[in-house]
Amino acid sequence: DTAVSQTPKYLVTQMGNDKSIKCEQNLGHDTMYWYKQDSKKFLKIMFSYNNKELIINETVPNRFSPKSPDKAHLNLHINSLELGDSAVYFCASSHGRGFSNQPQHFGDGTRLSIL
């Protein structure tokens, strides 16, 4: 069973469109995260939710809106996609409350390409 699964794996779309990426974890973790890996391969935190509550919100355009229907799911919705949004987006989860000293478990990433 996949511990952290995100869909889709690949997403190719045109500038200006709205798209969503879904993430689910079956590890019973309390905290989930979204990361962006840019062209320089840096992994940067975007958001973190603990038991459906937003606890970390880094400087991210408000076109990005995370939604957590329950603690096992954290979806990422992106409005009005721009060329600079092209990246690999990783979902992760961990025990504890945001940036605790608990290892994070990552999904396999969603490669978003904007045409």
Residues that bind another protein (CB under 8 A): 4, 40-45, 90, 92, 97-101, 103-109
- Which residue lies nearer to another protein by CB, 3 or 15? 3
Give the β-pairing of 19-25 and 4-7.
antiparallel
* DSSP per-residue codes, 43-72: EEEEEEEETTEEEEE-S--TTEEEEEEETT
Q: How far apart are CA 86 and CA 15, in angstroms?
A: 10
- Which residue lies nearer to another protein by CB, 64 or 99? 99
CB of 79 to another protein, least distance (A): 25
- Which residue lies nearer to another protein by CB, 18 or 58? 58
